[in-house]
A = this chain, B = another copy of it.
């Protein structure tokens, strides 16, 4: 990984056109040739970048560009698309190279998958007498997160989200429409379960006869004996 602190301006042309005015920034060149342009603030997202696979070519400025103060030009082109990034470097303050090797990678634990596992284990959160049929119940248009049966034996389809948005209601509606055509399942009751349900989503869901269920992740995790903590 090469780290360059330089005063530069940047132009990008590809799926859109973008320009970064002259300023001091970090240029990070990764081993795969990709380039990230970072400022000293903002989020983890760079101001500008080129994703691999791509190639970086350094070149001398034209006489006119040199006149304007440019000492070096970096042109990064994407190998497959026509995307192009041009870094006009005026002054270099720092330049160092550090071979890092291949990273062993991130180990993740616990998101929607965890929420789904917990709800499957604590299926009576749906209501007294509910039983789990299966997780990821497959339909023609995709898997329903959880299929259960209520105390009376009626089918219950659950769509699970961390954040319950209008899209999730639409998704569940499509599943319900399809499943209600299946005589083995119909009538199928819909439950929209999420840690947080947006008011618009709730309104739409209830208008369509879909029940909303707000889940308390911490409480559900607390019920789970075998969970581990990092801290």
CA distance A76 to B131 in the complex (A): 43
What 1/0 flags go to A156-183 for Cβ under 8 Å of B?
0000000000010010000000000000
Chain B residues near A13 (CB, 8 Å)? 229-231
Which of A55-63, A96-104, A185-193 lies on the face that meets chain B? A96-104
Do A44 and B40 touch (CB < 8 A)?
no
Shortest Cβ distance from residue A215 to the other chain B in the assembled complex, whole angstroms: 14
Do B45 and A44 touch (CB < 8 A)?
yes
Chain B residues near A111 (CB, 8 Å)? 15-16
Do A109 and B230 touch (CB < 8 A)?
no
Q: A10: nearest residue on chain B (CB-CB)?
A: B106
Shortest Cβ distance from residue A87 to the other chain B in the assembled complex, whole angstroms: 13
Do B3 and A3 touch (CB < 8 A)?
yes
| Residue of A3, A40, A104, A229 most packed against chain B (CB within 10 A) | A40
Do B23 and A109 touch (CB < 8 A)?
no
Which of A30-38, A66-74, A120-128 lies on the face that meets chain B? A30-38
Chain B residues near A99 (CB, 8 Å)? 40
Name A16's contact: one of B38, B110, B229 (CB within 8 Å). Answer: B110
Chain B residues near A167 (CB, 8 Å)? 167, 170
CA distance A109 to B16 in the complex (A): 6
Chain B residues near A42 (CB, 8 Å)? 30, 103
**Beta-carbon contacts under 8 Å, A172-225 to B:** none
A-B contact pairs, 28 of them (CB 8 A): A1-B5, A3-B3, A5-B98, A13-B229, A13-B230, A16-B111, A17-B108, A17-B109, A18-B108, A19-B230, A20-B106, A22-B104, A24-B101, A28-B38, A30-B40, A30-B41, A30-B42, A31-B41, A32-B40, A34-B41, A36-B44, A43-B52, A44-B51, A84-B231, A86-B231, A94-B96, A96-B96, A167-B167
Q: 3 closest Cβ contacts across the A-B interface?
A: A39-B103, A40-B100, A31-B40
